[in-house]
Chains A and B, each alone.
Chain A
Amino acid sequence: MSRRLTSGGRYIDRSAPQGFTFDGTTFEGYAGDTLASALLGAGVTLVGRSFKYHRPRGILAAGPEEPNALVALGPKERTEPNQRATTTELFDGLTARSQNRWPSLKHDVGALNQAVSKFLPAGFYYKTFIQPRHAWKHLFEPIIRRSAGLGPAPTHADPDEYEHLYDTADVLVAGGGVAGLTAALAAGRAGKRVLLVEQMPHWGGRLVTDALPDAKEEAGETVAALLSALEALPNVHLRTRTMCAGIYDHGYVLCHERVSDHAPAAGIPRHRLWKVRAGQIVVATGAIERPIAFPMNDLPGVMLAGAVRDYVECYGVTPGDTVVIVTNNDDAYRTALSLKAAGIAVPAVVDARGAADGALPAMARAAGIDVRTGQGVAKVLGKTGVEGVQLCAQGSAGEVTDTIACDAVAVSGGWSPAVNLWSHCGGKLRWREDAAWFEPDADKAPTGADGRAFVAVCGAANGRMGARDAATDAAGVGAAAAGGEVPGDLPGVPDAPEEAPLEPVWLMPADAQIEAREKMWLDFQNDVKVSDVELAAREGFESVEHTKRYTTLGMATDQGKTSNINGLAILAKALDEGVPQVGTTTFRPPWTPLSFGSIVGEAKGSAFQPLRRTPMDSWHEARGATWEPVGHWRRPYCYPRRAESAEEAVEREVLAVRNHVGILDASTLGKILVRGPDAGRFVDMLYTNMMSTLKPGRCRYGLMCSENGFLMDDGVVARIDEQTFLCHTTTGGADRIHAWMEDWLQCEWWDWKVHTVNLTEAWGQIAVAGPKARKVLESLGGMDLSAEALPFMGWADGTLGGFDVRVYRISFSGELSFEIAVRAGQARALWDRLVAAGDAHGMAPYGTEALHVLRAEKGFIMIGDESDGTVIPQDLGLDWAISKKKDDYLGKRAQARMHMTDAGRWRLVGLETLEGEVLPDGAYAVSNEKDEWGNTRTIGRVTSSYRSPTLNRGIAMALVEKGPERMGEVIDFPIPGADPIAARIVSPVFYDPEGEKQNV
C-alpha cells in the first residue's frame, strides 16, 4: 500500500501538516504536497471511477498529464469539478470528492458496465441506440448522461474573482525545467525582455529527480544557479503556477496563472489570464511518459515510472512497499534506483528488450535488483489494487512464466516530447524511428506574418532527452530567439550516463490474444482499449481523426497526453501502416484546461457589462424605479409607489400626463450634430423627408431607412443654424446611426463638407409633458415659453431657473410638451428643481412604459415595435414623411421595387377588441379563407398592445394585409389554449386625432 516515507521529499515541509478531506474522510498531508501525493501518503490509492466502465482507478502520473485522478474540489455549492489531484496544491482545509461513482467510490453500481463491456464497444451508442428514434432523447441519452460523466457542476454562482493581464515580451519561454531556464537566461543575457512561465510551483523540472544519486547535489546547484542568474536580470520576469495554454497567430499567447488556488484569500483573484504578445516563443515543455498496454494496466497501483520517482523524491511518498518495474527503456531503471535508495523492495525490473546492458541497468544489477529481459506482463493481479504481476515472454501470447507478489507497478513505455504548444500554430512534426516518438520538425515551424518562424522549441520537447543535451540545445535556441550569442558562463549541467535505445512495445505480450487486448487500456479517462482501436480499424476507420472521434481516444480532459502515441501505434499496426503514415491528431489549445472564470476575467457581478447611466440615474434609483434595459442604458420602466404594482404605476403615470403633467428622463436619446456647408444635402439623403428646407429654430420629425428601403431609425431634427442640424435618434440607435453617417461620409461622399459629432452624453434631456407643463416651467422663471414665442415644433435657447437650456416644443405623448436640454453636469440639478416645482401641479415622473402607452394612444410608431427590419415607412402610413420632390434619399430606389409596392403588403392599422380585452403582443390574425394548399392564412400581426388607461380599454397597433382598406372589418386572433380574440380594424390614432392637445 502507498505510504509516506519516513524521510525525503524535497518539496514538502514536514513541520507544516495540512488537514484535508477526501470523500468526507479527514486526512493529513504536508505543505508542499499535491493532493495526489497527500492521498498516496495517506494510503489512498483508489481515487476515481473510469468514464464508461466505472473501473476503479488510481493515480497514474504526477503532473498535468494525469488521466485518472480527477476530483471535485470545494463544497457542493461552489464545486470545481474535474481538477487533477496531481496538479492541485494542498492547503489546510481543502475538500475533495471523487467523481463518477454511485453510491460510493468503493461500491459503485456502474461497475456492472464491466460485465457487459462486450456490448459497449467503440461507437456503441451510434450502433445501439438508433431505434426507436424518439428513445434517444427520452430514454438512452438521460441514462447515459447520468452514468457516464465527469464531475458535477457547481450549484451556485462562482464567488471567486478573476482578472486579465495584458503583457508583451520579446521572448516568452514556456516551461521552467533546465531547458526553459537555460533558454530564458540565454535570451535574457542578450538584453531582451523575457517572460518565463512554469505551470508547476517549482523550477527545475525533472533535473534533480532524474539525476543519479551522486549528481543530485550538483543538479540542485545548477537549478539554483540558473535561477539566481535569471533573477539578477532586470529584463526577465519569472512566473510559476502559470501555464502556457495556447499559442496563436501573431505571437499571441494565452497563459493561465493560478494566483491563489494554493492559498485562498479574500480580495485576491483566484486565477489571472495573461494575454501576451510575444516576438518569439520558446517551447520548453519537456516530455511525457507513456504507459505500456498490458492486461489490467489500469488497476490502481500501476503508475508511470517517472511519476513514481517524483513521488519518492519530491514528496517522500511511495506507491507501495514492493514495486515491480516494467519497461522497454533504460530510463525506468532510475526509478528502480530511486526506490531502492528509499528502502523500498524492487523484486524485479521486467524489461521487454532482449538485452539491457546499458549503464543504468548495470547500476540496478549492482544494487541487487533482478533484471528480467525479454519479459513482459501477462496480467496484473488484483481487484481494486495491484496484488501481483504474472510475467510471460514478451514474444509470446502470454503464457505465464512467473508470478511476483507486489503492491505497485512502475511502468515506462518511453517518453514523448510534449509538442502541443509547438503544434498549436501549425508547427509540423516528424517521426523519430529510433526513439519511437514524434518531435518538432525545426524546418516546419509556425511562421508569422513575415514568413519567419516565431515559435522555437528546445530540450526534451525537441527530442533532446538528456539534461546536458537539453541545456545545450536550449542555450542555442534561447540565444537565437533573442538574436544574441550563447553566453559563455552558463551553469554546468551534471553529466548522465549514456542510455541504450528503447524498443517500441505497443502490445505486451506481443502476441496477446483478444481476451487480453480487451483488458489493455490506452486512454484511461475515456476507457478506450486496444481492442476498441482495432475494432475501429476493422470497421473501416482509416483516418486517425475519425478513429479518435469514433473511439473517443484522446478526447477526454487530458486530451490524450498519455494515450496518443500508444493509440496511434495500435491503429497503425491494425491498418498495417507505419506510425508516421497514420499521423497524429491535431493538437489544439489549451495545453491543459483553464477555468471559465479566468476567461470571464473581471466581467462578472457589477462589472458584467457596462451599464450606461444618465445624470438622473441615482434619482430614479432612490425613487425605487423598476428598470428596463435599453441598449446598454437602464431607463426607469415606471416608478411604483408603496404597494403599487408596476401595472398600476403605469396607469397612474399615463393619467398624470393626460390630466396634469409628467416628467421623463429623455437623456438617453441620441443627439448627433451634423454641420457643414453640405449638411442640408446630407440630411436630405439620410432622411426620407425634405430636411434642408427646415428653418433655423424649427424641428421636424424624420425617418431614416437603410439602402434597402427598410425603416431603421426615427427622431426629431432641429435646425440650429444655416450649416447645422441636430439629429435626435432612438436610444438604441445613437451609436449605430452615428457610425452610419460616418460610413457614408468617409466611404461614399468623402468630398462632402460635413462634420458629425455624437453629443448624446454632453446633454441631459428632460421631457415635461401634460396640460400643466408650461405652468411648471414658467414657475422656474426665465425664457418666454408662450405658444407665440415658442410654437409647436419650434426650439429656443434661453434660461430656466438660471440654467442655460435649449427647449424643444415637441411631443411624443400628444400633450403639451417641452423637452429641455441642459449640460449633463447640471441636468440633475435642473431635474430636482423641476420636480420640486411640479409638486404644486400634481406632476409625476413617468417611465418608458407610460411613454409607450401615451404614444400608442396617439398612433405614433416605435422603432423596434412597429418596425422589425422588414417594414418600410409606406407600410406604416408614413407617406407624408416621404418627400416626393427629392431626387434621392437612402432607400428610395429600394422602395420602388415590386415587392415594396405590392398592394397586398401588411400595413399599419389600429385594433379595437370587441370586448375591450388586451391582445397579446405579437398575436397573429388569420383569415377565414384557406390558402391554395388548404392551410389557414395569416393576414396580420400585433406590433404593439396595451391597456389604455385614458380610454379604459385594450388598444393595439397591427400590420394587416391591405389594412387601411379594411377599416371597420373584424378579424380574429387565435390565442393558444383560449378562445380567439376578435378585433375591429380602426385608425391607429385613438386619442385626439386632430392633434389639438399638443398644439396649445
Chain B
Amino acid sequence: MSDIATALGGARYEGFALVEEAQAGGMIALRGDWADLGSALSAALPLEMPQTRHIVTDGERSLAWMSPDEALVFLPVDEVAETVRRITESAGDAFVTAIDVSDMRAVFRISGEGTGPREVLSKLCPVDMRSIQVGELRRTRLSQVPAAFWIGSDGTITVICFRSVAAYAFEVLTRAARAGTEVGHLAS
C-alpha cells in the first residue's frame, strides 16, 4: 500500500544534523497486562518484550514499551492486518487489545556527526541527552507537543509524534538543527 501519504510528504532539512520525515510504516497499539501482552506477542512477533522505557529492535520490526500496560509495535505496513489478527487470536481469553494505528503518527529521523542529533533534541526535550543509551525509549515533550524518541545503534534518533502536529514538530526540529547554532555541550 504505497499510496499512504505521510503528513509532510517526506520533508527534509539539513543543518548541523539531518532531519527527515520518514515513512511511518506499520504501527500496532497494544494494551493489556504486561504478562498477557508478552504471551500474546510471543506467537505473533519474533521480538523479546522490552524492559520498562525501552525498545527492542530486530530488522524492520520493533517493540516499544509505552506504559505499564501499553506497547507499540513497528513493522512493515503490509504485515499489520495479519499481525493484529494473530495477536488477537493468540491472546485467546486474555484481555489484550491490538489495533492498527499506522496512520496516527509522524516519524522523524535525525542523523549526523557526533553528538549533533542528540544536541538537536537537547534544545527541545527536557531530557538528559547524555545518558540516553541505545535501546532506551523516552516519552517526553518536543517543545510543546508530546513525543517519544529512541537512539539506534548507528546514532540515528527516531522521533515519533502525533500526525496533526507533524508540521510543528518539523518546524522546531529544523530550527534547533540550524547550522551555526551548535553548542557542543554534549561533547563534554
Q: Evaluate contact between A824 and B103: CB separation under 8 angstroms.
A: yes
Chain A residues touching B, majority SS: mixed
Q: Say whether A627 faces chain B, with CB atoms less than 8 Å apart.
A: no
Work out how many contacts link A and B, with CB atoms closer than 8 A.
135
Tell me the minimal C-beta distance from A545 to chain B in angstroms.
34
A632 CB contacts on chain B under 8 angstroms: 165
A753-B101 CB under 8 A given contacts A168-B130, A611-B167, A612-B164? no
Q: Evaluate contact between B175 and A163: CB separation under 8 angstroms.
A: yes
Q: Evaluate contact between B103 and A237: CB separation under 8 angstroms.
A: no
A759 CB contacts on chain B under 8 angstroms: 99, 101, 104
B164 CB contacts on chain A under 8 angstroms: 612-614, 633, 761
Which of these, B100, B124, B125, contacts A762 with CB under 8 Å? Answer: B100
A167 CB contacts on chain B under 8 angstroms: 122, 185
Contact with A along B150-188 (1 / 0, CB 8 A): 000000000000111111100110011011110111011
B163 CB contacts on chain A under 8 angstroms: 615, 761, 824
Q: Say whether A321 faces chain B, with CB atoms less than 8 Å apart.
A: no
A163-B105 CB under 8 A given contacts A237-B188, A755-B32? no
Q: Say whether B7 faces chain A, with CB atoms less than 8 Å apart.
A: yes
Q: Evaluate contact between B123 and A165: CB separation under 8 angstroms.
A: yes
Q: Say whether B11 faces chain A, with CB atoms less than 8 Å apart.
A: no
Which of these, A607, A762, A828, contacts B175 with CB under 8 Å? Answer: A607
* Stretch of A17-25, A151-159, A266-274, A952-960 at the chain-chain interface: A266-274
Q: Say whether A275 faces chain B, with CB atoms less than 8 Å apart.
A: yes
A611 CB contacts on chain B under 8 angstroms: 165, 167-168
Size bin of chain B's contact surface: 35 or more
B130 CB contacts on chain A under 8 angstroms: 168, 193
Which of these, A234, A272, A757, contacts B29 with CB under 8 Å? Answer: A757
Tell me the minimal C-beta distance from A745 to chain B in angstroms.
10
Contact with B along A602-629 (1 / 0, CB 8 A): 1100110111111100000000000000
Q: Evaluate contact between A606 and B95: CB separation under 8 angstroms.
A: no
Tell me the minimal C-beta distance from A249 to chain B in angstroms.
15
B183 CB contacts on chain A under 8 angstroms: 165, 272
* Nearest CB in chain A to that of B119: its residue: A165
Q: Evaluate contact between B102 and A603: CB separation under 8 angstroms.
A: no
Measured CA separation A275–B102 after assembly (Å): 35
Q: Say whether A677 faces chain B, with CB atoms less than 8 Å apart.
A: yes
B179 CB contacts on chain A under 8 angstroms: 267
Q: Say whether A823 faces chain B, with CB atoms less than 8 Å apart.
A: yes
Which of these, A613, A673, A753, A757, contacts B95 with CB under 8 Å? Answer: A753
Q: Evaluate contact between B103 and A763: CB separation under 8 angstroms.
A: yes
Q: Evaluate contact between B95 and A163: CB separation under 8 angstroms.
A: no
Contact with B along A673-713 (1 / 0, CB 8 A): 10111000000000000000000000000000000000000
Q: Evaluate contact between B104 and A761: CB separation under 8 angstroms.
A: yes
Q: Evaluate contact between A826 and B180: CB separation under 8 angstroms.
A: no
Would you list which residues of chain B between 88 and 118 have a CB under 8 Å from chain A? 95, 97, 99-105
Q: Say whether A825 faces chain B, with CB atoms less than 8 Å apart.
A: yes
Which of these, B7, B31, B167, contacts A757 with CB under 8 Å? Answer: B31
Q: Evaluate contact between B178 and A168: CB separation under 8 angstroms.
A: no
B171 CB contacts on chain A under 8 angstroms: 606-607
Q: Evaluate contact between B185 and A762: CB separation under 8 angstroms.
A: no
Q: Say whether A277 faces chain B, with CB atoms less than 8 Å apart.
A: yes
Tell me the minimal C-beta distance from B28 to chain A in angstroms.
11
Would you list which residues of chain A between 382 and 425 have a CB under 8 Å from chain B? none
Q: Say whether B43 faces chain A, with CB atoms less than 8 Å apart.
A: no
Q: Evaluate contact between A166 and B122: CB separation under 8 angstroms.
A: yes
Measured CA separation A267–B174 after assembly (Å): 12
Would you list which residues of chain A between 158 and 186 have a CB under 8 Å from chain B? 161, 163-168
Q: Say whether B49 faces chain A, with CB atoms less than 8 Å apart.
A: no
Contact with A along B138-158 (1 / 0, CB 8 A): 000001110000000000000
Measured CA separation A318–B163 after assembly (Å): 63
Give the size of the chain A interface in residues (CB under 8 angstroms). Answer: 52
Q: Say whether B45 faces chain A, with CB atoms less than 8 Å apart.
A: no
Q: Evaluate contact between B102 and A613: CB separation under 8 angstroms.
A: no
Measured CA separation A269–B144 after assembly (Å): 19
Q: Evaluate contact between B143 and A823: CB separation under 8 angstroms.
A: no
* Nearest CB in chain A to that of B97: its residue: A755
A239 CB contacts on chain B under 8 angstroms: 185
Measured CA separation A761–B131 after assembly (Å): 32
Q: Say whether A235 faces chain B, with CB atoms less than 8 Å apart.
A: yes
B31 CB contacts on chain A under 8 angstroms: 755, 757
Measured CA separation A826–B183 after assembly (Å): 40
Q: Evaluate contact between B188 and A163: CB separation under 8 angstroms.
A: no
Tell me the minimal C-beta distance from A136 to chain B in angstroms.
41
A277-B128 CB under 8 A given contacts A824-B163, A825-B5, A825-B103? yes
Would you list which residues of chain B between 57 and 91 have a CB under 8 Å from chain A? none
Measured CA separation A762–B188 after assembly (Å): 41
Q: Evaluate contact between B101 and A762: CB separation under 8 angstroms.
A: yes
Tell me the minimal C-beta distance from B145 to chain A in angstroms.
5
B122 CB contacts on chain A under 8 angstroms: 165-167
Which of these, B4, B123, B165, contacts A164 with CB under 8 Å? Answer: B123
A168-B128 CB under 8 A given contacts A606-B171, A607-B168? yes
Tell me the minimal C-beta distance from A579 to chain B in angstroms.
42
Tell me the minimal C-beta distance from A865 to chain B in angstroms.
24
Q: Say whether A878 faces chain B, with CB atoms less than 8 Å apart.
A: no
Q: Say whether A236 faces chain B, with CB atoms less than 8 Å apart.
A: yes
Q: Say whether B10 faces chain A, with CB atoms less than 8 Å apart.
A: no
Measured CA separation A615–B5 after assembly (Å): 9
Q: Evaluate contact between A612 and B165: CB separation under 8 angstroms.
A: yes
* Nearest CB in chain B to that of A277: its residue: B128
A163-B102 CB under 8 A given contacts A168-B130, A757-B29, A823-B4? no
Q: Say whether A951 faces chain B, with CB atoms less than 8 Å apart.
A: no
Measured CA separation A677–B95 after assembly (Å): 8
A615 CB contacts on chain B under 8 angstroms: 5, 7, 163
B46 CB contacts on chain A under 8 angstroms: none
B95 CB contacts on chain A under 8 angstroms: 676-677, 753, 755
Would you list which residues of chain B between 5 and 19 have a CB under 8 Å from chain A? 5-7
Would you list which residues of chain A between 247 and 287 have a CB under 8 Å from chain B? 265, 267-269, 272, 275, 277
The 10 closest A-B pairs by CB, nearest first: A825-B4, A612-B164, A824-B103, A762-B104, A237-B188, A755-B97, A610-B168, A755-B31, A825-B103, A823-B103
**Contacts A/B (CB < 8 Å), 14 sampled:** A161-B175, A164-B123, A166-B122, A168-B131, A193-B130, A193-B188, A268-B180, A272-B183, A612-B165, A614-B164, A677-B95, A761-B163, A825-B3, A825-B103
Chain B interface (Cβ < 8 Å from any Cβ of A): 3-7, 24, 29, 31-32, 95, 97, 99-105, 122-131, 143-145, 162-168, 171-172, 175-176, 178-181, 183-185, 187-188
| 14 further contact pairs, Cβ within 8 A, besides A610-B143, A676-B95 | A165-B122, A165-B183, A602-B123, A602-B176, A611-B165, A613-B164, A675-B97, A757-B99, A761-B103, A761-B164, A762-B100, A762-B102, A825-B6, A826-B103
